[in-house]
Amino acid sequence: MDNTEATRRLHTKKQTLDDAYAAPANFLEIDVINPITHGVAKKRYTDYEVRMRTNLPVFKIKESSVRRRYSDFEWLRSELERDSKIVVPALPGKAIKRQLPFRNDDGIYDEDFIEDRRKSLEGFVNKIAGHPLAQNERCLHMFLQEPVIDKNYVPGKIRPN
Amino acid sequence: MYFQSFFGFGQSAEIDIILDGAATRRTAEVKTEDGKKERLFLFFDGESLSGKVNITLKRPGYKLEHQGIKIEFLGQIELYYDRGNQHEFTSLVKELARPGELHHNTSYDFDFNQVEKPYEVYTGTNVKLRYFLRVTVVRRLTDIVKEVDLAVHTLSSYPEMNSSIKMEVGIEDSLHIEFEYNKSKYHLKDVIVGKIYFLLVRIKIRHMEIAIIRRETTGSGPNVFNENETIAKYEIMDGSPVRGESIPIRVFLAGYDLTPTMRDINKKFSVRYYLNLVLVDEEERRYFKQQEITLWRKGDRIRKSLQMAPVPVTTPTNGESDQVQAFEKIPTPVSEEASLEDSPTEEPAPNPTPSEDIPRVESYAEGVPTEDA
């Protein structure tokens, strides 16, 4: 008698067909792609396209694409460390050594280095954007969706709707 | 003891304790401190303890002088960090022989009638509760001592009130789930049957697991030690659910090394059990909800004359499933772990259900209560 109770089929709430076949409510994809090195000689810098697609209500824009450089990621990390409650993941290194002269390769403009950095930055931003406690930080929204980062912004939280 | 070994005498006599009915008495496995298991004779509250003490003289013709022979029945709680102070919560003694001499092997009968054994034996991380018989041959320099440990189980009967546990918990805007466990009090061979219903899933869940955690609490006041041990853990869902999906839970308790819930035993320690539901997302973040359950030991074939110990009271169970509770902000995660909060909004939390009063065993009448195999 005990055994049948243990293995009896459970009565569960029926899932609507809408819910079963709708797009998942957790759709969030962020890619860090298309590294481009601008400028010449000593005035060069590399930036990356940060492309985002989502259906999360907390993000106002459902598809966005902005260009960001390494120092922008550093800015985002320090803002989150200060304001949010999360343990912010580490960024790929600053590669100071690569910026010294007399190298055999292209230093920080070396293809392989840029590719490694790109991958690491992609992991970094995905990890943060999916975190429930960081998702509503204004700095993250500005980083992902504003064409230009306004460093004089007012830090704070974003409410959905 | 030093005197004897110096002269090469060794132990001059051997003590054996033989229990009546040993051939038919059930045994139980009890953990030892070093993690092994030993088989001990099993007794219940109210049962009498009787038998023989055999004293064998090692060297024929040798005369054993002593200052008295006694047998004790002891129930003891020992805290590992305070070994010097063993707390005896039960102590009975019978004198077997007045001071004198033994010239040949001797046997003494003993009988402790209807002995109270209020608690179950327990060997844990920081504390041990044991029952044992101890025979002492008192001598001038060194006593000859023999101890035999006994197992004791506490039995309870089906609680009158055993509401299910049903709660809606989550993290605002990210995850809402409703979990349900069919009971709040489970016996040791019971099955936890439940389900998880997903109301809102805005995080990318990789899998969900459930664990049984034992929490042993020792000490009091500022010196409280909590030892958590994961008794069982397994995955109940692999992949990412969407809204409206239900995930079944079936946990067969008989397969695990569990004890009954022990609350504030002699004011020295507690052993409590929790179900820990954990959801893990794609970035290894863990969202968990811990819920206490009460475990009790079922006896079977109980004679009407025997009464059972009450099932320990559990912390408030939430039978009111319609009460949707608001979600508190997640506390600062030190690691990447977040508790799914369920703090109340307008309505305060329900009062704890009053404990059922099943009278304790007063006296042991007839028949031996046995347990499920």
CA distance A69 to chain B (A): 24
**Burial, B341: exposed, middle or buried (Cβ in 10 Å; 0-12, 13-18, 19+)?**
middle
- Cα separation, B231 vs B254, in Å, equals 12
Instruction: Map out the domains of chain A as residue ranges.
Output: 17-145
* B245–chain A Cβ distance below 8 A for any pair: yes
- The Cβ-side half-sphere exposure at A81, using a 13 Å CA radius, reads 10
Q: What is residue B238's predicted lDDT score, i.e. its pLDDT?
A: 97
Q: What is the reported pLDDT for A161? A: 59
Can you give the pLDDT at residue B342?
A: 57
Q: Are B136 and B289 in contact (CB under 8 A)?
A: no
**Which positions ≥6 away from B321 have C-beta within 8 Å?**
B166, B178, B180
**ipTM of the complex, rounded to two decimals:** 0.88
Helix axes A70-83, A138-145, angle to 10 degrees: 160
Q: What is the model's pLDDT at position B28?
A: 94
Sequence ranges of chain B with CATH classification 2.60.40.640: 13-152, 165-296
Residue B6 phi, psi dihedral angles, 5° rounding: -65, -40
Instruction: For residue A85, give the chain B residue with the closest CA.
Output: B332
Across the range A140-157, mean pLDDT stands at: 93
> Contacts for A73-77 with beta carbons within 8 Å, 24 or more apart?
A73/A121, A73/A124, A73/A125, A75/A139, A75/A143, A75/A149, A75/A151, A76/A125, A76/A128, A76/A139, A76/A140, A76/A143, A77/A124
pLDDT, residue A96, reads 87
Q: Whole-angstrom Cα distance, residue A141 to residue A143?
A: 5
Angle between helices A70-83 and A111-129 (to 10 degrees): 30
A75: left (phi over 0), alpha (psi -120 to 50) or beta: alpha
For B165-296, CATH number out of 3.90.79.10, 2.60.40.60, 3.30.200.20, 2.60.40.640 equals 2.60.40.640
Domain A17-145 CATH (choose: 3.90.420.10, 3.30.1520.10, 3.30.479.30, 3.40.309.10): 3.30.1520.10
Pairing verdict, β B69-79 and B87-97: antiparallel
Interchain pair B283, A131: CB under 8 A? yes
Query: Using 50, 70 and 90 to split pLDDT, how confident is the model at A102?
Result: confident
pLDDT score at A2? 57
Chain B residues touching residue A62 (CB < 8 angstroms): none
Interface test with chain B among A131, A136, A157, A161, by most B beta carbons within 10 Å? A131
In chain B, what residues touch A131 (CB-CB under 8 Å)? 283, 285
Which regions of chain A does DSSP assign to beta strands (E)? 28-38, 45-54, 63-69
- % of residues, chain A, pLDDT over 70: 97
Instruction: Please check the confidence at residue A5 and state whether its pLDDT lies above 50.
Output: yes
**A56 interaction partners in chain B (CB closer than 8 Å):** 202
Q: Using a CB–CB cutoff of 8 Å, tell me whether A22 touches chain B.
A: yes
Q: Which of B197, B204, B336 sits opposite A13 (nearest CB)?
A: B197
How many angstroms separate the first and last alpha carbons of chain B? 44
CATH class of B13-152: mainly beta
| Nearest Cα to Cα of residue B261 among B228, B294, B219, B216 | B294
Low-confidence ranges of chain B (pLDDT < 70): 1-10, 300-338, 341-373
Cα separation, B105 vs B57, in Å, equals 6
CA distance B293 to chain A (A): 17
**Mean pLDDT to the nearest integer, A142-151:** 94
Report the residue of chain A nearest B248, measured CA to CA. Answer: A10
Residues of chain B neighbouring A26 (CB-CB closer than 8 A): 201-205, 240
| Best mutation target, B195, B202, B279, B282, to test chain A (most A CBs within 10 A) | B202
